[in-house]
Structures are given as structure tokens and as C-alpha cells.
Amino acid sequence: MNKKVLAILLACMMVLTACAAMADTLTVSAWDPNFNIPALEAAAADYKANVDPNFELVINVVSGSSDVENDMTTAGSSGDYSNLSDIVLFQDHFIQRYVADYPDAWVSLEGADINWDDFGAEKLSYSTINGVHYGVPVDNGTAIFAYRVDLLAECGYTLADVTGITWDRFIEIGEEIYAKTGKYLLSMDGSGNDLPYMMLQAEGLSQFKDGVPYITENEAMVQIITKLVEMIQKNILYLSNDWTGYTDQSIMGDQVAGVFNGNWIIPTIEQVPENSGKWEITSIPTLDGHEGYAANGGSSLYITSNCKNPDLAKDFLAKTFGGSTETYDAALRNGGVITCSVSAGQSPVYAEGVDFFNGQAIYTTIVGMGANVPIVEQNDYHYTCRQYIGSAIQEILMGSDVETALKNAEDQLRFAMGL
């Protein structure tokens, strides 16, 4: 064969090989090297081993969720999506606004081989817009209420005694715990104030109704804020100044006998090794005493319109985060990411007892609780509302009455929303 022809053939083969390799490659932008990134690496390894041996996932690690949001804002404002990754990790609370503002930036997941009934309805309520699925859930934001059962036992209580109780009963027990052990039964980040939202969701209610603030006319909200203030005044709830105070002082500083937040708070609890075997988790108290369920935080994966191979992206997401036991087992072991898939959460890995939590199979429990979280109305002003509710609590502690403080919060929120 002519050397020139041979060279041309070899060059063509190299181009075809390179193109084939590129055809099996996807890019994704995500944050948190200790949490989300190991989950993505687990998914990539799963898909490569069991579906496509030529598959490669190129992970663009950003410093935080705001980087992804800023990139999307820049791209959407200019109408140029060419610099976006094929897939992006996006916070649940923000996605609906971005789909509304930049509808051309996203590829729907319609047609993907995913059993959507395998996921909790509340989790999917964020990424399902006008009946269309846009995202595949990654991490489970289901809230847990963790208790130091050794401290409960000092006062004659067990986990059963704090399960399915009213907030009034919780306050009674909390007074006893503080009097005998000097520990608070709960803590809250004074600058973040996630508690009111989670407590309200456990009642099946939101801070918004039909797109407008639902605060002063929301009887459950008024009761919840009243009880939070009572807890602070009675040394049941420790109000920290900021997030660092909440985690480092109240939780890792061993000031509390209870922690209530999204299950992603578990690694923080585990930072105190001498408390291993002393914690257990359960559901949330409510105003009337039924077992409450809520969620806080969480994110999902979305395909952008810049993706050149959306079919590959859909297949990758469907066969990994869409319910693969292999993906989620590795994600749990390597990064602590807990699945939202009910079937994946039934694996032997999830059913293992966790020594730190007194042998309790907390991961199976969390997935089960997640399936019961009620859907409540979400709003783009979720975090703005949280800020004003936090300020209202401070006003009440300084002497304002509950109604006036909440009215101020509602008025400020309405103004911020342009209402």
C-alpha cells in the first residue's frame, strides 16, 4: 500500500477514534469535593463498568453552588450557552426560577428511562415544572431529629418518648434535660433560621400561599414562632450567632442533646468521636403530636442546552442517579450522599447499622422518612423570607410582640417581592 495512502488512513482512524472518545464524554459542573464530587465519581465508575466502557465524565469542580448559578445567569442574560457544562448540579430551591427565566437553557428529561414513582414526591416537586421533569435527584435533604439517647436516659426518657409528640411536650422534656444535664435540647443558627421553615413543612404548610407571603394569617406559623421564642427563653433552644457558632459551638462543642436539620448535618454530629453510640434519630415533633417530616437543602442534576449528546446524558443519569444501587452504595460510603430513590435505599449497605448512632440503620430510616415529606409551596424568595423571619425572632426577644414582629417581616418580604 502506498505510504501516503497508509498515512491518510491512519490519520483518519485517529480522528475517528478521537471523535468516538468525545462522543462518550460528558462534562458536569458541581461543588463540594467531600460530598457531591465522590457521588459523581461513583456514578461515572458505575456507568463505565456496566454500560459503556468508553465513557468518561469530566468534572468541573466549582467552589460553591453560587458559581453554577452565576454561570447560568451570565449565559442566560447573553443568550450564549456555549460555555456551560453538559450537566450542572443545581440547588433545589433555585431551579424553578432559572427554568422560568432561561427556558432555552435546559433539556427536559422526558423520554429518559427513569421510574419517577421511585422518588419521594416532595423531592421531585422542585425539578418538575409544568408537569415536565428537568432534573434527577442526587442528595436526600430529608430532615432528621437526632437525640443524645444517653442524656434522655439520665432523665428517664427513651427515643420513643420524643417520637410523635407535640412541641409543648418537647418543651416540657427540654426543661428537664437542661435542669439535669445543662444541655439544650435543640439549637439554631441565628443568621440562617431553617427551623421555622422545617417546622412549618412538618405541618404540611408553607410560608407562601398562591405566590404571596403567608405569615401573619398563618396560624401555624404564629404558633411556631411563639414556641421557638419560648424555647430560647427557657434554655431549651440555643440560639447561636451564626453558622460557625451553630456547628462548632453548639453541636461539636457538645452543648446540645438534640439536633434538627437536613440529614447532611450528620457528618457534623460525627465530629465528636466520644459521643459515638450515644445518638439516635427519629421524626419531628408537631403542633398536634403527629410524626412530622420535612426536608432542608438538596440538589439535582440538570442537562443544559449546550450538551451535544443529550441522549447520552439522559442515559447516564437514568442508569446511575435514576436508581442504581451501585452508584448510591458507593456515594454513601465515599461521600455520605443519601439516595432519594426508594429502591436504591433498600440495599444491604443502607440497611447496615451505624455504630455512631447506636447501631441504628439510619440510612434506610432516612429514605423512608423522605417518602413522607409533604409537598409545600416553594418560592424564589425562600431565603429572603428566612432572613426576615429570623429578624422577627430577634425583635420578639428584644420585647416586641409576636404579631407586630411578624407583620414587619411580612411587609418587608412583600416589598422585596414587589407586591
The whole-number pLDDT of residue 15 equals 45
The whole-number pLDDT of residue 294 equals 97
What's the rounded Cα separation, in Å, for the pair 75 and 70? 9
Q: How many CA atoms lie within 13 A of 73 on its CB side?
A: 8
Query: Would the pLDDT of 16 be above 50?
Result: no
Domain 3-141+296-346 maps to which CATH number in 3.30.10.20, 3.30.230.10, 3.40.190.10, 2.40.240.10?
3.40.190.10
When pLDDT is averaged across residues 130-134 and rounded to a whole number, the result is: 95
Cα separation values, 102 from 80, 156, 416, Å: 11, 56, 22
DSSP result, 88-149: EEEEHHHHHHHHHH-GGGEE--TT----GGGB-HHHHHHHEETTEE-EEE-S--BEEEEEEH
Query: Would the pLDDT of 5 be above 70?
Result: no
Q: How confident is the model at residue 18 (pLDDT cuts 50, 70, 90)?
A: very low
Convert the pLDDT of each residue in 302-352 to its tens digit. Answer: 999 999 999 999 999 999 999 999 999 999 999 889 999 999 999 999 999
Span(s) in the chain for CATH 3.40.190.10: 3-141+296-346, 143-294+374-416
When pLDDT is averaged across residues 386-395 and rounded to a whole number, the result is: 94
Query: Would the pLDDT of 50 be above 90?
Result: yes
Sign of CA pseudo-dihedral 86, 92, 93, 99 = positive
The whole-number pLDDT of residue 21 equals 47
The whole-number pLDDT of residue 22 equals 57
- Beta-strand ranges (E) seen in 14-78 are 25-31, 56-62
- Nearest Cα to Cα of residue 303 among 95, 142, 20, 117: 95
Cα separation values, 65 from 104, 178, 267, Å: 21, 38, 20
The whole-number pLDDT of residue 24 equals 92
Lowest mean pLDDT among 90-94, 188-192, 302-306, 312-316: 188-192
Lowest mean pLDDT among 11-20, 76-85, 289-298: 11-20
Query: Would the pLDDT of 207 be above 70?
Result: yes
Average predicted confidence (pLDDT) for the chain: 92
- Nearest Cα to Cα of residue 215 among 378, 22, 407, 398: 407
pTM of the model: 0.85
Convert the pLDDT of each residue in 354-372 to its tens digit. Answer: 999 999 999 999 999 998 9
Is residue 246 classed as helix, strand or coil in its secondary structure?
helix
When pLDDT is averaged across residues 18-47 and rounded to a whole number, the result is: 86
User: What would the CATH number be for the domain defined by 143-294+374-416?
Assistant: 3.40.190.10
Query: Would the pLDDT of 164 be above 50?
Result: yes
